[in-house]
Amino acid sequence: MVSALLGLLALVLHLALMLAAAPLLTGLIRRIKARLVGRIGPPVTQPARDLLRLLRKQPVVSESASWVFRAAPATSFAATLAAAALVPSFALDMSTAPFADLLVVAGLLALSRAATALAALDTGTAFGGIGASREMTFSAFAEPAMFLVIYTLALLVGTTNLDAIAGVLREGALGLRVSLGLVALTGLVVAIAENGRIPVDNPATHLELTMVHEAMVLEYSGRHLALIEAGAMLRLLLWASLLAAVFAPFGMANADAPLRWLPAIGLWAVKLGLLAAVLALFETGTAKMRVFRVPEFLGIAVLLGLLAAIFLFISQGFA
Protein backbone atom coordinates (compact mmCIF):
# COMPACT_ATOMS: atom_id res chain seq x y z
CA MET A 1 0.00 0.00 0.00
CA VAL A 2 2.68 2.45 1.05
CA SER A 3 4.88 1.54 -1.90
CA ALA A 4 1.96 2.01 -4.32
CA LEU A 5 1.35 5.47 -2.88
CA LEU A 6 5.02 6.31 -3.11
CA GLY A 7 5.05 5.12 -6.72
CA LEU A 8 2.19 7.47 -7.50
CA LEU A 9 3.89 10.33 -5.70
CA ALA A 10 7.11 9.71 -7.62
CA LEU A 11 5.14 9.72 -10.87
CA VAL A 12 3.47 13.05 -10.12
CA LEU A 13 6.80 14.56 -9.13
CA HIS A 14 8.39 13.09 -12.25
CA LEU A 15 5.77 14.58 -14.56
CA ALA A 16 5.99 17.99 -12.90
CA LEU A 17 9.77 17.92 -13.19
CA MET A 18 9.62 16.86 -16.84
CA LEU A 19 7.20 19.66 -17.73
CA ALA A 20 9.23 22.25 -15.86
CA ALA A 21 12.60 21.08 -17.15
CA ALA A 22 11.65 20.75 -20.84
CA PRO A 23 11.80 24.50 -21.71
CA LEU A 24 14.81 24.93 -19.44
CA LEU A 25 16.78 22.22 -21.26
CA THR A 26 16.06 23.83 -24.64
CA GLY A 27 16.98 27.23 -23.20
CA LEU A 28 20.20 25.85 -21.76
CA ILE A 29 21.24 24.37 -25.11
CA ARG A 30 20.51 27.66 -26.89
CA ARG A 31 22.46 29.58 -24.28
CA ILE A 32 25.49 27.30 -24.54
CA LYS A 33 25.37 27.43 -28.34
CA ALA A 34 25.30 31.23 -28.24
CA ARG A 35 28.31 31.26 -25.90
CA LEU A 36 30.24 28.90 -28.16
CA VAL A 37 29.98 31.31 -31.10
CA GLY A 38 30.77 34.38 -28.99
CA ARG A 39 27.28 35.77 -28.39
CA ILE A 40 25.73 36.47 -24.99
CA GLY A 41 22.58 34.63 -25.94
CA PRO A 42 19.05 34.60 -24.55
CA PRO A 43 18.36 33.84 -20.88
CA VAL A 44 17.71 30.18 -20.05
CA THR A 45 14.05 30.98 -19.31
CA GLN A 46 13.45 32.41 -22.79
CA PRO A 47 11.72 29.30 -24.27
CA ALA A 48 9.29 29.33 -21.34
CA ARG A 49 8.57 33.02 -21.98
CA ASP A 50 8.05 32.25 -25.67
CA LEU A 51 5.45 29.62 -24.76
CA LEU A 52 3.63 32.08 -22.47
CA ARG A 53 3.62 34.67 -25.25
CA LEU A 54 2.12 32.19 -27.71
CA LEU A 55 -0.63 31.32 -25.21
CA ARG A 56 -1.62 35.00 -25.06
CA LYS A 57 -2.06 35.25 -28.81
CA GLN A 58 -5.14 34.66 -30.91
CA PRO A 59 -4.60 31.69 -33.21
CA VAL A 60 -5.16 32.18 -36.94
CA VAL A 61 -6.47 29.15 -38.82
CA SER A 62 -6.52 29.11 -42.60
CA GLU A 63 -9.84 28.68 -44.40
CA SER A 64 -8.79 25.44 -46.07
CA ALA A 65 -7.96 23.73 -42.74
CA SER A 66 -10.13 20.84 -41.56
CA TRP A 67 -10.58 19.38 -38.06
CA VAL A 68 -7.33 17.45 -38.52
CA PHE A 69 -5.40 20.70 -38.38
CA ARG A 70 -7.11 21.72 -35.13
CA ALA A 71 -6.87 18.31 -33.46
CA ALA A 72 -3.26 17.59 -34.33
CA PRO A 73 -1.42 19.81 -31.80
CA ALA A 74 -3.29 18.38 -28.83
CA THR A 75 -2.97 14.80 -30.11
CA SER A 76 0.73 15.20 -30.72
CA PHE A 77 1.35 16.79 -27.32
CA ALA A 78 -0.78 14.24 -25.47
CA ALA A 79 1.09 11.34 -27.06
CA THR A 80 4.44 12.87 -26.14
CA LEU A 81 3.24 13.54 -22.59
CA ALA A 82 2.08 9.95 -22.23
CA ALA A 83 5.48 8.75 -23.43
CA ALA A 84 7.16 11.13 -20.99
CA ALA A 85 5.19 9.55 -18.16
CA LEU A 86 6.72 6.18 -19.04
CA VAL A 87 10.37 7.15 -19.31
CA PRO A 88 11.92 7.25 -15.83
CA SER A 89 13.84 10.40 -14.91
CA PHE A 90 15.11 10.09 -11.34
CA ALA A 91 13.20 7.12 -9.90
CA LEU A 92 12.52 3.54 -10.99
CA ASP A 93 9.41 1.61 -10.01
CA MET A 94 7.01 4.50 -10.51
CA SER A 95 3.32 3.62 -10.93
CA THR A 96 3.76 3.55 -14.70
CA ALA A 97 6.66 1.08 -14.54
CA PRO A 98 4.58 -2.00 -15.55
CA PHE A 99 3.56 -0.31 -18.84
CA ALA A 100 6.91 1.37 -19.51
CA ASP A 101 7.62 -0.80 -22.48
CA LEU A 102 10.11 0.61 -24.98
CA LEU A 103 7.82 -0.48 -27.81
CA VAL A 104 5.00 1.58 -26.30
CA VAL A 105 7.27 4.62 -26.02
CA ALA A 106 8.33 4.23 -29.67
CA GLY A 107 4.70 3.83 -30.71
CA LEU A 108 3.55 6.93 -28.84
CA LEU A 109 6.32 8.99 -30.40
CA ALA A 110 5.34 7.67 -33.84
CA LEU A 111 1.73 8.67 -33.16
CA SER A 112 2.80 12.18 -32.25
CA ARG A 113 4.86 12.45 -35.43
CA ALA A 114 2.08 11.09 -37.63
CA ALA A 115 -0.38 13.66 -36.22
CA THR A 116 1.97 16.55 -37.07
CA ALA A 117 2.66 15.19 -40.55
CA LEU A 118 -1.07 14.79 -41.29
CA ALA A 119 -1.74 18.34 -40.12
CA ALA A 120 1.06 19.61 -42.36
CA LEU A 121 -0.61 18.00 -45.38
CA ASP A 122 -4.05 19.21 -44.32
CA THR A 123 -3.76 22.88 -45.28
CA GLY A 124 -2.33 22.02 -48.68
CA THR A 125 0.62 24.42 -48.58
CA ALA A 126 3.75 23.48 -50.49
CA PHE A 127 6.13 23.63 -47.54
CA GLY A 128 3.83 21.59 -45.33
CA GLY A 129 3.92 18.81 -47.91
CA ILE A 130 7.69 18.97 -48.29
CA GLY A 131 8.18 18.87 -44.51
CA ALA A 132 5.79 15.95 -44.04
CA SER A 133 7.40 13.90 -46.80
CA ARG A 134 10.89 14.50 -45.42
CA GLU A 135 9.90 13.74 -41.85
CA MET A 136 8.27 10.46 -42.86
CA THR A 137 11.27 9.50 -45.03
CA PHE A 138 13.63 10.05 -42.12
CA SER A 139 11.46 8.17 -39.68
CA ALA A 140 11.26 5.24 -42.10
CA PHE A 141 15.01 4.92 -41.55
CA ALA A 142 15.13 5.92 -37.89
CA GLU A 143 12.44 3.50 -36.73
CA PRO A 144 14.20 0.28 -37.81
CA ALA A 145 17.32 1.52 -36.01
CA MET A 146 15.20 2.19 -32.92
CA PHE A 147 13.75 -1.31 -33.08
CA LEU A 148 17.21 -2.82 -33.38
CA VAL A 149 18.16 -0.95 -30.22
CA ILE A 150 15.12 -2.34 -28.44
CA TYR A 151 15.79 -5.82 -29.81
CA THR A 152 19.40 -5.90 -28.64
CA LEU A 153 18.50 -4.56 -25.20
CA ALA A 154 15.77 -7.17 -24.95
CA LEU A 155 18.27 -9.92 -25.82
CA LEU A 156 20.67 -8.63 -23.18
CA VAL A 157 18.23 -8.15 -20.36
CA GLY A 158 15.39 -10.44 -21.30
CA THR A 159 12.62 -7.84 -21.37
CA THR A 160 11.55 -4.78 -23.37
CA ASN A 161 10.38 -3.05 -20.21
CA LEU A 162 12.37 0.17 -19.88
CA ASP A 163 12.16 0.19 -16.11
CA ALA A 164 13.49 -3.35 -15.85
CA ILE A 165 16.26 -2.62 -18.37
CA ALA A 166 17.37 0.45 -16.44
CA GLY A 167 17.21 -1.56 -13.20
CA VAL A 168 19.45 -4.32 -14.53
CA LEU A 169 21.92 -1.91 -16.11
CA ARG A 170 22.04 0.13 -12.90
CA GLU A 171 23.33 -2.87 -11.00
CA GLY A 172 26.11 -3.14 -13.60
CA ALA A 173 25.54 -6.91 -13.79
CA LEU A 174 26.23 -6.92 -17.52
CA GLY A 175 29.54 -5.07 -17.35
CA LEU A 176 30.98 -3.33 -20.40
CA ARG A 177 30.03 -4.95 -23.67
CA VAL A 178 30.72 -4.18 -27.30
CA SER A 179 27.05 -4.53 -28.19
CA LEU A 180 26.07 -2.09 -25.46
CA GLY A 181 28.47 0.49 -26.92
CA LEU A 182 27.14 -0.03 -30.44
CA VAL A 183 23.57 0.23 -29.17
CA ALA A 184 24.41 3.49 -27.40
CA LEU A 185 25.78 4.94 -30.66
CA THR A 186 22.68 3.83 -32.57
CA GLY A 187 20.47 5.31 -29.89
CA LEU A 188 22.30 8.64 -30.13
CA VAL A 189 21.85 8.83 -33.91
CA VAL A 190 18.16 7.95 -33.60
CA ALA A 191 17.73 10.60 -30.90
CA ILE A 192 19.35 13.23 -33.12
CA ALA A 193 17.07 12.33 -36.02
CA GLU A 194 13.91 12.14 -33.92
CA ASN A 195 14.49 15.56 -32.40
CA GLY A 196 15.46 17.25 -35.65
CA ARG A 197 18.89 18.33 -34.46
CA ILE A 198 21.99 19.02 -36.56
CA PRO A 199 23.15 17.27 -38.81
CA VAL A 200 19.71 15.89 -39.73
CA ASP A 201 17.70 19.10 -39.36
CA ASN A 202 18.52 22.56 -38.09
CA PRO A 203 16.22 23.71 -35.27
CA ALA A 204 17.22 27.36 -35.81
CA THR A 205 16.80 27.58 -39.58
CA HIS A 206 14.73 30.19 -41.37
CA LEU A 207 15.32 28.87 -44.87
CA GLU A 208 12.17 27.07 -45.92
CA LEU A 209 14.02 24.84 -48.38
CA THR A 210 16.24 23.29 -45.70
CA MET A 211 13.50 22.82 -43.11
CA VAL A 212 12.18 19.49 -42.04
CA HIS A 213 10.32 19.77 -38.76
CA GLU A 214 9.65 23.49 -38.91
CA ALA A 215 8.27 23.29 -42.45
CA MET A 216 5.41 21.21 -41.05
CA VAL A 217 4.39 23.79 -38.45
CA LEU A 218 4.66 26.98 -40.55
CA GLU A 219 0.85 27.30 -40.61
CA TYR A 220 0.35 27.14 -36.85
CA SER A 221 -0.05 30.11 -34.55
CA GLY A 222 -1.05 31.01 -31.00
CA ARG A 223 -1.87 28.23 -28.57
CA HIS A 224 -1.66 25.56 -31.29
CA LEU A 225 1.94 26.53 -31.91
CA ALA A 226 2.60 26.66 -28.17
CA LEU A 227 1.44 23.04 -27.83
CA ILE A 228 3.61 21.94 -30.74
CA GLU A 229 6.70 23.73 -29.45
CA ALA A 230 6.14 22.44 -25.93
CA GLY A 231 5.81 18.95 -27.40
CA ALA A 232 9.11 19.32 -29.24
CA MET A 233 10.86 20.50 -26.05
CA LEU A 234 9.34 17.66 -24.08
CA ARG A 235 10.47 15.16 -26.71
CA LEU A 236 14.04 16.40 -26.46
CA LEU A 237 13.97 16.00 -22.68
CA LEU A 238 12.33 12.59 -23.03
CA TRP A 239 15.12 11.36 -25.30
CA ALA A 240 17.80 12.80 -23.03
CA SER A 241 16.23 11.06 -20.03
CA LEU A 242 15.84 7.84 -21.99
CA LEU A 243 19.51 7.79 -22.99
CA ALA A 244 20.52 8.66 -19.44
CA ALA A 245 18.26 5.95 -17.97
CA VAL A 246 19.57 3.20 -20.24
CA PHE A 247 23.22 4.09 -20.72
CA ALA A 248 23.99 6.00 -17.52
CA PRO A 249 21.48 4.65 -15.00
CA PHE A 250 23.77 4.98 -11.98
CA GLY A 251 22.39 6.95 -9.06
CA MET A 252 18.72 6.47 -9.92
CA ALA A 253 16.56 6.06 -6.83
CA ASN A 254 13.78 3.59 -6.18
CA ALA A 255 10.28 4.98 -5.81
CA ASP A 256 9.87 3.35 -2.38
CA ALA A 257 12.93 5.08 -0.92
CA PRO A 258 11.89 8.76 -0.85
CA LEU A 259 15.01 9.83 1.04
CA ARG A 260 17.11 9.00 -2.00
CA TRP A 261 14.96 11.07 -4.35
CA LEU A 262 16.67 14.38 -3.81
CA PRO A 263 20.22 13.26 -4.69
CA ALA A 264 18.77 11.28 -7.62
CA ILE A 265 17.05 14.43 -8.94
CA GLY A 266 20.31 16.33 -8.60
CA LEU A 267 22.20 13.64 -10.47
CA TRP A 268 19.54 13.59 -13.19
CA ALA A 269 19.98 17.34 -13.64
CA VAL A 270 23.75 16.91 -13.88
CA LYS A 271 23.37 14.22 -16.54
CA LEU A 272 20.99 16.43 -18.52
CA GLY A 273 23.37 19.38 -18.24
CA LEU A 274 26.23 17.26 -19.54
CA LEU A 275 24.15 15.99 -22.44
CA ALA A 276 23.09 19.55 -23.26
CA ALA A 277 26.72 20.70 -23.29
CA VAL A 278 27.79 17.84 -25.54
CA LEU A 279 24.87 18.42 -27.91
CA ALA A 280 25.60 22.15 -28.12
CA LEU A 281 29.28 21.53 -28.78
CA PHE A 282 28.49 18.96 -31.45
CA GLU A 283 25.93 21.22 -33.15
CA THR A 284 28.28 24.19 -33.20
CA GLY A 285 31.10 22.13 -34.68
CA THR A 286 29.21 20.35 -37.45
CA ALA A 287 27.20 21.48 -40.45
CA LYS A 288 23.77 20.27 -41.46
CA MET A 289 23.71 17.47 -44.01
CA ARG A 290 22.12 17.61 -47.42
CA VAL A 291 18.64 16.11 -47.16
CA PHE A 292 19.56 13.25 -49.50
CA ARG A 293 22.50 12.22 -47.36
CA VAL A 294 20.41 11.80 -44.20
CA PRO A 295 19.15 8.31 -45.18
CA GLU A 296 22.80 7.24 -45.48
CA PHE A 297 23.53 8.66 -42.04
CA LEU A 298 20.55 6.81 -40.59
CA GLY A 299 21.52 3.72 -42.58
CA ILE A 300 24.78 3.68 -40.63
CA ALA A 301 22.72 3.68 -37.44
CA VAL A 302 20.72 0.68 -38.67
CA LEU A 303 23.97 -1.08 -39.52
CA LEU A 304 25.44 -0.41 -36.10
CA GLY A 305 22.28 -1.71 -34.47
CA LEU A 306 22.46 -4.84 -36.58
CA LEU A 307 26.13 -5.31 -35.65
CA ALA A 308 25.23 -4.99 -31.98
CA ALA A 309 22.68 -7.77 -32.29
CA ILE A 310 25.11 -9.99 -34.25
CA PHE A 311 27.93 -9.47 -31.76
CA LEU A 312 25.58 -10.51 -29.04
CA PHE A 313 24.69 -13.73 -30.85
CA ILE A 314 28.36 -14.50 -31.46
CA SER A 315 29.37 -13.92 -27.85
CA GLN A 316 26.42 -15.85 -26.43
CA GLY A 317 26.14 -18.61 -29.02
CA PHE A 318 22.78 -19.67 -30.35
CA ALA A 319 21.76 -21.57 -27.27
Partner 1 sequence: MVWNRIARTLRAGPLTEPAGAADEATAHALAERLHAASQARLGRSLAIRQVDAGSCNGCELEIHMLNSVVYDLERFGLHFVASPRHADVLLVTGPVTKSMHDALLRTHGATPDPKWVVAVGDCAIDGGVFKGSYAITGGTDSAVPVDLTIRGCPPSPAALLDGLRSLVEANGR
Those residues whose C-beta lies under 8 Å from the C-beta of residue 120, and which sit 6 or more positions away, are 128, 129, 131, 132, 135, 215, 216, 217, 219
CA angle at 200 for the pair 166 and 249, rounded to the nearest 5°: 10
Told to check if 173 binds partner 1 by CB under 8 A, we report no
In the chain, count of helices (H) and strands (E)? Answer: 11, 2
62 vs 315, which CB is nearer to partner 1? Answer: 62
**Closest separation between CB of residue 80 and partner 1, Å?**
20
Q: Amino acid letter at 308? A: A
The number of residues in the chain equals 319
59 vs 199, which CB is nearer to partner 1? Answer: 59
* Separation in Å, CA 260 to CA 86, 224, 251, 268, 278: 20, 39, 9, 12, 27
Told to check if 34 binds partner 1 by CB under 8 A, we report yes
Please report, as residue ranges, which positions from 270 to 309 form the binding site for partner 1 (by CB under 8 A): 281, 284-285
CA angle at 242 for the pair 187 and 305, rounded to the nearest 5°: 20
- Out of 3, 4, 16, 39, name the contact with partner 1 by CB under 8 A: 39
**Closest separation between CB of residue 42 and partner 1, Å?**
5
Q: How far apart are CA 141 and CA 299, in angstroms?
A: 7
* Separation in Å, CA 43 to CA 93, 144, 204, 247, 268: 35, 38, 16, 30, 22
Only one of the segments 39-47, 152-160, 176-184, 243-251 lies at the binding site for partner 1 (rule: CB under 8 A); that segment is 39-47
Told to check if 46 binds partner 1 by CB under 8 A, we report yes
3 vs 62, which CB is nearer to partner 1? Answer: 62
**Closest separation between CB of residue 226 and partner 1, Å?**
11
The separation between the first and the last C-alpha atoms of the chain, rounded to the nearest angstrom, is: 41
Those residues whose C-beta lies under 8 Å from the C-beta of residue 206, and which sit 6 or more positions away, are none
Those residues whose C-beta lies under 8 Å from the C-beta of residue 182, and which sit 6 or more positions away, are 152, 304, 305, 307, 308, 311
**Closest separation between CB of residue 40 and partner 1, Å?**
5
176 vs 206, which CB is nearer to partner 1? Answer: 206
Judged by phi (left if over 0) then psi (alpha if -120 to 50, else beta), residue 124 lies in: left
**DSSP label at residue 229:** H
**Closest separation between CB of residue 297 and partner 1, Å?**
19
* Separation in Å, CA 97 to CA 84, 157, 158: 12, 16, 16
50 vs 163, which CB is nearer to partner 1? Answer: 50
- Out of 5, 12, 16, 60, name the contact with partner 1 by CB under 8 A: 60
Told to check if 156 binds partner 1 by CB under 8 A, we report no
**Closest separation between CB of residue 257 and partner 1, Å?**
40
Told to check if 63 binds partner 1 by CB under 8 A, we report no
Please report, as residue ranges, which positions from 219 to 258 form the binding site for partner 1 (by CB under 8 A): 219-222, 225
Count of residues that interact with partner 1, criterion CB under 8 A = 36
5 vs 52, which CB is nearer to partner 1? Answer: 52
Told to check if 218 binds partner 1 by CB under 8 A, we report yes
Per CB under 8 A, residues contacting partner 1 are: 30, 34-43, 46, 49-50, 52-53, 56-60, 205-208, 211, 214, 218-222, 225, 281, 284-285
